[in-house]
Structure 1
Amino acid sequence: MKLLRHLALLGLTAALVARAGTEESNVWPIRVAELAPGGEVESWRALGPLLFEKPAPTGGTVAGFRPFYIVRTDTNGHVRERDFLYPLFTWRDDGEVTQWSVFQLINSSGQTAGSLPPANGKNEAFDVWPFWFSRDTGDPATSYKALFPIAGTIKYRFGYDRISWTIWPLYMQSDKKGAITTSTPWPFIRRTTGTEQGFALWPLFGWREKPGVFEKRYYLWPLIWNNTTQPAADAPAGTPGAHASGFLPFYTRETRAGFVNQSYLWPFFGYTHKTQPVAYDETRYLWPLLVQGRGERYVNRWGPFYTHSIIKGTDKTWVMWPLFREAQWSDAGLLQTKTQFFFFLYWSLDQQSATNPNLPHASKTHVWPLFSSWKNGAGREQFQFISPLEVFMPNSPKVREAWNPLFALYRYDQQSPVQVRRDALFGLVTWRRDLDHREFHLGPLFSVDSRPDRGRIAIGNGLLGLKRAESGRGWKPFWFDFKRQPAKAQTTSR
């Protein structure tokens, strides 16, 4: 079950839903639809891959006009997400908070109209990067408005308690845990007061210290530095502090308890000696090309020809970098092997049980930009011919929904070994088979529907053709019969 749970994240396509017992209505290019046993439309698409509506994997529906507009509704019919030319514009409403964004540069969030106030209080924000920043919590201590570079204050963002500026870079002040740094102008003249003390005339020299914690100095930044950090308050008695110094590019040295790292003609030559918490020794002859490491990690690098390393359980090999790369690791009971040729021209991921290698493997493969394929190891398979985006954004359902179908000249979708659907030229040619059902469509021109209790061969979706009403009876001609008998709900166990 763990294997299936992890591989469920690796699906490829956003195809029409084709459940057992459904049948197809094909009036390509006007509409291609999947019909439930009672004749109701479950999902449809029109104008090739452009217009569509189908059930969403998490319930509700997803519909739109690819790639321009995608809308998602929940099971109650409430609109929860809208995307316009994703990722250009996104809109989301979870019933309490409404958020929208223009390419992550213009961002807005606030309480949904008509909803109850959030349990954690008011929190409305609006940003236009990098010029306007605002937040309204109802509390002056955490609310702010700022116009960059004119004037303003930002609170509790970017790792600081407060950042203020006036005609930046002429004046800027930041507050981080009581250490207040004033720059006039930034970054050339800086003075630090409060919980830390310091002064800098950048890049000539600068110093900063927190008594009993650290002291840092530099000269001709970034060439010369000398930093000392005292051991933590809970460190065992006698633990030495950490010290780092350097004069680039000639020499750098970093030491702390059980650790020494030294470089000559930085960064090309040097060594690392580590004894705690685990042992590791590394020698750099011409970094990053020639590196040897043993201990906690195993590194054998003769770049760019060959590199082999084992770091935190990941076994990685490069041959003729960047042409070939293979990595193996274990995660949540799965043994995973990733193989790449020139990063993305060929990319594959194989997953198998770490405890029972005889179980079926799952895999995902990209040959860019020709195709992508996926198998979950339990009978579910997908294949798409022409797949230029999946290898770059494999974990983006929105890209998969809005963009991938536009390139799918051919799709293969196997729900199980007995339930398969093929689709070519955006629905012009489709053929499918189920346990006791075969169906073929050449758009509205020609179709074949074969079942144990009946059959139908039609031209023009019923303009004329042959049909078999009951098993064992002969075929009879028909014309102007555009209504097909609804499929019977299948109860056969699978």
Structure 2
Amino acid sequence: MRFFFKIAVFLIGFLSVCLCPSLIYSLNFWPLLTYESDNETKTVELFGPFGFWQKSEEGLEWGIRPLFSFKNDGYERLDILYPLGGVKKEEGLSEGYFFPFFNFEEERFFSLFTLYWGKSKEGESYCGFFPFLGKIRDRFRRDKIDFVLWPLYTRVIDEGTTTYKFLWPIFKLYKGKTEGVDIFPLWGHRVSETGEKGFTLWPFYVWQDEKFIDAHFSLRFYFPFYASFKTPKYESFFLFPPFLHHKRFKEGQERWELWPFLAFDDKEQKIFPLFRKKETSKGKSLWLLWPLYTYDYTEVSETKMRKERFMLIGLRKKETFNDEEKVDVFNLWPLFSISKENDEEEFLFPFLIPLKNEGFKRNLLPIFTLISYKSKGAKADFNLLWGLFRFKRGPEISYWRIGFLIDRKFTGNTSRLRLFGGILSIRKEDNKVKLKLFDLF
């Protein structure tokens, strides 16, 4: 009972600080509860990296890791047991999911397990209970889908073609812009406005002929012996095994390749896994003793990107725009990550999970990080062991602390040193020193 009472007290304190942060100068009961403010950003932490609340010019975010988190920066986002569940609201529309139980899009779609209902773009209602009976509109990149006891019967309507599927994937009948029949894997043939394709005893013989404006594409595949492919730019063939590949370009160049081991032409030289060098109009790539070292360089308009990898665990990436450095990243998994993007710098140790998307950084990354350093302009934040040692610097303020034992804050001509969360403090203001007891705030 006492344990739950203590938890309740700290939760009440946490909520009070979150709801009324302007009432407090700073608070240090690490690791239970801390509050810090540099005028522009206000931060509350509860039980180390687990509870957090932060308000800044960029917006508001708070949560209890790894259970849930909320962020509002003009768009609202709620994560629940990330990455299993989430809800986001953008431009007045809400959508969310909790895998594998439900999924919804406001006024468009809702599913609970395999029971679903929704509306199409034109306002047509649909519903179903997969795999027994149902219809779907404007989803899965198809205009209309109807099914009964799937895979027994399915009808798909998309871009002027109706496809009837019986005992999918065995029997298919095509009507409309595309006409044809598939009896998989024995035989199939389809004819459309752009060409035709088919197979016999798939995958042993597969063929395709397509024409777009004046460009003709042709494919012949005789598994496992031979394949040919013709385009307006080149003709090529494969012999299996040992995967001999020949490509002849319209300009007269030829390329021979014993895939994936040997390749030689004027653009690429490869002896796998010893060496590879390739050059294109947009960049070049190189690797030595793959995967020991790989290098890629790409140039698109005014943007230049360079990426180097070492033994698949090391990564160095640079990106410039108009010869101005925009991105500089160095990762050595699972030890550390150093990154610089625009005017923001970040260091993380260890780097156990090589992800840095917004949801992962907000919900899980602080739990797995023992040392972090972040800086942006005049601001800096160093965090050791989930706040055991913390140093923060801003345009007008600097602050450091060692757990609950000692903390010090500098603001203009004022400084303050506190012991044991403020049981004893020494303030210095305009060359005047004051000793104070129970200076908790």
Q: Is residue 319 from structure 1 mapped to residue 288 from structure 2 by the alignment?
A: yes
Q: Is residue 480 from structure 1 mapped to residue 441 from structure 2 by the alignment?
A: no
**Is 2:224–2:240's contact at 8 Å kept on the other side of the alignment?**
yes
Q: Is residue 386 from structure 1 mapped to residue 350 from structure 2 by the alignment?
A: yes
Q: Is residue 215 from structure 1 mapped to residue 196 from structure 2 by the alignment?
A: yes
Pick closer, same or farther for the CA change 1:159–1:415 going to 2, 3 Å.
Answer: closer
Pick closer, same or farther for the CA change 1:93–1:228 going to 2, 3 Å.
Answer: closer
Deviation (angstroms), 1:482 = 0.3
Q: Percent identity?
A: 21
Aligned equivalent of 2:206: 225
SS of residue matched to 1:461 = helix
| Whole-angstrom CA distance in 2 between matches of 1:333 and 1:366 | 25
| Whole-angstrom CA distance in 2 between matches of 1:360 and 1:209 | 52
Aligned equivalent of 1:87: 83
Higher RCO, 1 vs 2 (CA within 8 Å, ≥6 residues apart): 1
Aligned equivalent of 2:35: 33
Q: Is residue 53 from structure 1 mapped to residue 49 from structure 2 by the alignment?
A: no
**Is 1:33–1:41's contact at 8 Å kept on the other side of the alignment?**
no
Amino acid at match of 1:192: Y
| 1:298-317 alignment, distance < 5 Å | 298-311=267-280, 313-317=282-286
| 1:91-490 alignment, distance < 5 Å | 91-94=87-90, 96-103=92-99, 106-111=102-107, 124-128=108-112, 131-137=114-120, 142-210=124-192, 213-229=194-210, 231-232=211-212, 234-235=213-214, 241-265=216-240, 268-275=243-250, 281-285=254-258, 287-294=259-266, 298-311=267-280, 313-331=282-300, 333-343=302-312, 345-355=313-323, 362-376=327-341, 378=343, 380-389=344-353, 391=354, 393-394=355-356, 396-416=357-377, 419-433=379-393, 439-450=399-410, 453-471=413-431, 478-482=435-439
Amino acid at match of 2:111: D
SS of residue matched to 1:187 = coil
**Is 1:273–1:282's contact at 8 Å kept on the other side of the alignment?**
yes
Amino acid at match of 2:84: L
Pick closer, same or farther for the CA change 1:49–1:202 going to 2, 3 Å.
Answer: same
Deviation (angstroms), 1:65 = 0.6
| Whole-angstrom CA distance in 1 between matches of 2:400 and 2:361 | 26
Aligned equivalent of 1:487: none
Deviations 1:275-326 (A, max 9, x none): 37xx8643222x12222344xxx22221122222234513222222223222
TM-score by length of 1: 0.75
Aligned equivalent of 2:5: none
Deviations 1:58-102 (A, max 9, x none): 43x111111111112357xxx932111111110123363221111
| Whole-angstrom CA distance in 1 between matches of 2:219 and 2:362 | 50
Pick closer, same or farther for the CA change 1:128–1:454 going to 2, 3 Å.
Answer: closer
Amino acid at match of 2:109: A
SS of residue matched to 2:359 = helix
Deviations 1:91-144 (A, max 9, x none): 123363221111377310114xxxxxxxxxxxx212356x3443224957x432
Aligned equivalent of 1:68: 67
SS of residue matched to 2:202 = coil
Deviation (angstroms), 1:360 = 6.0
**Is 1:249–1:267's contact at 8 Å kept on the other side of the alignment?**
no
SS of residue matched to 1:163 = strand
**Is 1:282–1:292's contact at 8 Å kept on the other side of the alignment?**
yes
Aligned equivalent of 2:15: none
| Whole-angstrom CA distance in 2 between matches of 1:41 and 1:242 | 59
TM-score by length of 2: 0.83
| Whole-angstrom CA distance in 1 between matches of 2:92 and 2:280 | 44
Q: Which has the higher strand share?
A: 2
SS of residue matched to 1:221 = coil
Deviations 1:173-226 (A, max 9, x none): 32333333323322223333333322232211121223x642323111011123
The CA RMSD measured in Å over matched residues stands at 3.1
| Whole-angstrom CA distance in 1 between matches of 2:189 and 2:223 | 18
**Is 1:291–1:300's contact at 8 Å kept on the other side of the alignment?**
yes
SS of residue matched to 2:360 = helix
Amino acid at match of 1:320: L
Deviation (angstroms), 1:481 = 4.7
Amino acid at match of 1:70: S
| Whole-angstrom CA distance in 1 between matches of 2:245 and 2:256 | 6
SS of residue matched to 1:399 = helix
**Is 1:206–1:218's contact at 8 Å kept on the other side of the alignment?**
yes
Pick closer, same or farther for the CA change 1:479–1:318 going to 2, 3 Å.
Answer: same
| Whole-angstrom CA distance in 2 between matches of 1:304 and 1:177 | 45
